[in-house]
Amino acid sequence: MPAKILIADDEQNIIKLLRLYLRDEGYDVVAAADGRQALELFSAESPDLVLLDLMMPEPGGFEICTEIRKRSDVPVIMLTARSDDVDKIVGLEMGADDYITKPFTPREVIARVKAALRRRGWDRARPEERSAVTVGDVTLDPSSREVSAAGERVRLRQREFDLLEAFLRHPNVVLNRERLLSMVWGQDYYGDSRTIDVHVAWLRDKLSEGSTRIETVWGVGYKLVPPEADACAGPAWPAYPRPAHRGPADAAAANAGRLRTGDRHQPAARRLRFRLVAPRSAGELGGATHRAAGAQVLRVRDANGVVRLAA
């Protein structure tokens, strides 16, 4: 089962922020807004680690830390806006394991929580304590580090295995690169986030025989889609046959059935029908627009009585 973290802070914004990040890492979280409630929750919940604000009211952070040390040796990480070395030394001497000065980043807190639990011998992700998970035709067993897809065993490297487990435990949930890096590589990873793309490509190749797939959500991240999700998506659009490839000969044959007049090319069947009148000379026809005297022209009258000339 996951580690349980007690947050004791009188600032609700800090509680909400830390709860969000800790739960995203898979930890159970309980929170207290004052010293008395913090001690009550410590006795009732038996947390594995305490994030304790030094300036807690009724009683204060130093008194709470002293009382916790009388009952347990769980890691205690102090949170405080005080940056004086004296406060840090007093807190550490009273039993605190670490000290974080406000303002802080959530990633720093997560990294220090992991380090404190590691030193105590606690691993929130002990494989023997995590149950096997099955989504669609993919089954993953953390205790044996084995994966099967469509009934066939699939061999994965360490990061591929951990990345697939993250997807399987969050089916149909879009996970961005930053969250995947935090879940698989850890908060202290500062490499290129594009390593996720490479590992996803490897997973897709190794799971290609099954029906469970990893989809790209453009501009966001990735999500694991089980086969039953495809069935709920509704019927696919009907597949219409593509037109046959047309080569130069086909184009020439098509152009042969078109008339070239003042309008753009149109199929002959859709054009007005014309009848030809005997050729006359441009001089006989007259008009300023027919300057090439003596040139042979065709006088063409269409069905509406409009006369057109063509040399």
Say whether 217 sits in a helix, a strand or coil. strand
> For residue 271, what are its two tokens?
């054009």
Q: Using one digit for the tens of pLDDT, what is the confidence trace for 171-225?
A: 999 998 888 887 787 655 666 778 889 999 999 999 988 889 999 999 889 999 9
Residue 127: partners with Cβ closer than 8 Å, 6 or more residues away: 142, 143, 145
Over pLDDT 90: what percentage of the chain?
Answer: 20
Radius of gyration of the chain, Cα coordinates, nearest whole angstrom:
38
Half-sphere exposure of 233 (CA within 13 A, CB side): 9
Confirm if 10 and 56 have CB atoms less than 8 A apart. yes
Buried (b) or exposed (e) across 295-305, using 16+ Cβ within 10 A? Answer: eebeeeeeeee
Q: Which domains does the chain have, with CATH numbers?
A: 4-119 (3.40.50.2300), 129-231 (1.10.10.10), 266-310 (no CATH)
Closest CA to 224 of 216, 213, 234: 213
Structural contact between residues 15 and 41, judged by C-beta atoms closer than 8 angstroms: no
Please report the pLDDT score of residue 237 as a whole number. 42
pLDDT one-digit tens code per residue, 144-170: 889 999 889 999 988 889 899 989 988
Query: Residue 249 contacts by C-beta under 8 Å, 6 or more apart in sequence?
Result: none
Instruction: Report the alpha-carbon distance of residue 252 to residue 275 in Å, rounded.
Output: 25
